[in-house]
Amino acid sequence: MIVDERFVTYINSLDTENTSFLEELEKTAKEAYVPIIRREMQSLLKLLLAMKRPIRILEVGTAVGFSALLMAEYNPVACEITTIENYEKRIPIAKENFAKAGRDQMITLLEGDAAEVLKTLQEPYDFIFMDAAKGQYIHFFPDIMRLLAPGGMLVSDNVLQDGDVLESHYAITKRNRTIHSRMRDYLYELKHSDVLETSIIPLGDGVALSIKKKKEEKENR
């Protein structure tokens, strides 16, 4: 927890509930120890969708389909969502959830390693949500940049690793040092890219919001 838990609890207490289907799905996921986005991140996603009104959405990391269904439910405009998942046990669960929610025509689940699947995609996306293996974000980055439309938004979740990202390399346990190093590299790329405007926010486990600049914006700088 990178923000005082009392503040988080209070802020979340002000939030309204999601649809009954999403509420039940969140409860079931937590009982099965399946990671889904935190309440404060859900609230932020709803706000971003209301602001951007994206038509084509790409999600990297489906899990049981909660985030994709949240975006399908709360995006104020009709949209197409493509989501990628590699964990075989969760794929049929996600597909079942999409069908139960009546969103299986709106959401397309692509199975496989995101590093390979991303290379097969061609169309630009208005909104990309990254919530997959944190150590892989830096490897996904070139294809994510290729697929993100000018003016599009990239949302990268869990980028501060419960605060570990600010620690020295030597203060991190050996098994987590590779992820720690790769996430630092990823955040550096987001903040130093000539084509992105990025803000890193200490919300949830840390979220980076990036906008891909349009050609005229880059030329005027």
Question: Model confidence over 26-57: pLDDT tens digits?
Answer: 999 999 999 999 999 999 999 999 999 999 99
**Sign of the Cα pseudo-torsion (60, 65, 67, 70, in order):** positive
Q: What is the pTM of this model?
A: 0.91
Half-sphere exposure in the Cβ direction for 36 (13 Å, CA): 25
pLDDT at residue 201, rounded to an integer:
93
CA-based end-to-end distance of the chain: 37
Closest CA to 147 of 55, 51, 58, 45: 58
pLDDT at residue 136, rounded to an integer:
94
Q: Strand 196-201 and strand 207-212: pairing?
A: antiparallel
Contact 96, 121 (CB under 8 A): no
pLDDT at residue 204, rounded to an integer:
84
Burial (Cβ within 10 Å: 0-12, 13-18, ≥19) of residue 84: buried
pLDDT at residue 148, rounded to an integer:
98
Residue by residue, pLDDT tens for the chain (221 residues) are: 566 788 888 888 998 999 999 999 999 999 999 999 999 999 999 999 999 999 999 999 999 999 999 999 999 999 999 999 999 999 999 999 999 999 999 999 999 999 999 999 998 999 999 999 888 999 999 999 999 999 999 999 989 866 566 555 545 666 666 677 788 889 999 999 999 999 999 988 899 999 999 876 655 55
Domain that holds residue 35: 5-219
CA separation for the pair 87, 181 (Å, rounded): 24
Segments in the chain forming alpha helices (H): 5-14, 20-31, 39-52, 66-74, 91-100, 114-120, 137-147, 177-192, 215-219
Q: Strand 80-85 and strand 56-60: pairing?
A: parallel
- Report CA Rg, the chain: 17
pLDDT at residue 7, rounded to an integer:
82
pLDDT at residue 93, rounded to an integer:
97
Amino acid in the structure at residue 147: L
CATH number of the domain residue 34 falls in: 3.40.50.150
Q: Strands of 119-178 (E only): list them.
A: 125-130, 148-157
Provide the number of structural domains found in the chain.
Answer: 1
